[in-house]
Chains A and B, each alone.
Chain A
């Protein structure tokens, strides 16, 4: 059963990648988030109650229709320190697991189509496509945000994010999968699509709710955060490429190759590749 192997190989890669990520984030990005949250409590138009109760449960500055979500009931949030780090680690592992499953699927299809690449280079190549699709392209339209920034409605930003990631992934698929010279045109068209649609932005200053000094600090933190998330995402996809390449080679490739070989018309025997 390949599916079981996918799950275990994905989990193995995810624990490694998620743990490395938690370390890198703690060093590069979390200090910026924590610093921004200090100011988040000072936001002028923010509804007072939830912010005072728990600094990182966010008051919705602009998106008024979301007031019901964060307003009434008391919501659980991890306490700062070890508890918050534990949940961040868990989320990192699950995030890495989700990406590993996608990477394995793409690598498997490449193998089915007869790639000559070995597992590690193939994993890294897929990781480059992953970075482009899941980080770089969406981030070009919707920059990394620090807590406290106002932005367009959450749903519309999430929708645009999915559009940008999906379009970039289809651009990569066109380049890798099509033989026609038109594939470059197809890739460019896919890459352009989300920007033709346009990322949702508000016309006001995202930091309008803050007083002068806080605004300056947050602007600085926001700029730092964009760089920090760039390094973090590069490290995420580099480790994902390596870990998934190794896990694919160890647990998936032998079984997949044997199955695909048997489906081939002419010999190319799969010596020594029984699971």
Chain B
């Protein structure tokens, strides 16, 4: 495991690859939030009934 050194500065050489990776991580996080909304918050009665027990157990406001 080659632990990376602590310098957090990045030079503009191959930063575009880094930026693309960070963007994809952000896209993943955004997808995660959309899914969380669907499982835990969406008001559709179908979604509510299907995920009902999970909403209660994960302490989301349910009804």
Interface residues of A (CB under 8 A from B): 1-3, 6-7, 10, 25, 29-30, 33, 56-58, 60, 63, 66, 69-70, 75-78, 84, 87-88, 90-92, 94-95, 97-102, 104-105, 108-109, 111-116, 118, 134-135, 138-139, 142-147, 151, 154, 157-158, 161, 225, 228-229, 232-233, 236, 256-257, 259-266, 268-271, 273
Please indicate the chain B residues that have their CB under 8 angstroms from the CB of A76 in the complex: 45-46, 49
Please indicate the chain B residues that have their CB under 8 angstroms from the CB of A92 in the complex: 54
* Complex Cα gap A270–B54 (Å): 42
Determine which of B9, B15, B25, B61 lies in contact with A109 in the assembled complex, contact meaning CB atoms within 8 Å: B25
How many whole Å from A173's CB to the nearest CB in chain B? 13
Known: A91-B51, A114-B6, A233-B58. A256 touches B21 (CB 8 A): yes
Please indicate the chain A residues that have their CB under 8 angstroms from the CB of B58 in the complex: 95, 134-135, 229, 232-233, 236
Please indicate the chain B residues that have their CB under 8 angstroms from the CB of A88 in the complex: 51, 53-54
Known: A70-B45, A256-B21. A229 touches B50 (CB 8 A): no
**Residue from the set B7, B14, B35 with the largest chain A CB neighbour count within 10 Å:** B35
Known: A113-B8, A154-B61, A260-B4. A105 touches B26 (CB 8 A): yes
Inter-chain pairs besides A94-B39, A263-B10, 15 sampled, C-beta below 8 Å: A1-B24, A56-B49, A75-B46, A88-B54, A91-B53, A95-B36, A95-B58, A102-B33, A144-B57, A154-B43, A154-B61, A261-B4, A263-B18, A264-B4, A268-B2
Main secondary structure of the interface of B (DSSP, over half): helix
Known: A75-B45, A75-B46, A78-B49. A114 touches B36 (CB 8 A): no
Please indicate the chain B residues that have their CB under 8 angstroms from the CB of A104 in the complex: 25, 28
Main secondary structure of the interface of A (DSSP, over half): helix
B35/A98 in contact, CB under 8 A: yes
Determine which of A10, A90, A98, A232 lies in contact with B50 in the assembled complex, contact meaning CB atoms within 8 Å: A90
Please indicate the chain B residues that have their CB under 8 angstroms from the CB of A102 in the complex: 29, 32-33
* Complex Cα gap A271–B9 (Å): 21
Please indicate the chain A residues that have their CB under 8 angstroms from the CB of B61 in the complex: 142, 145, 151, 154, 157-158, 161
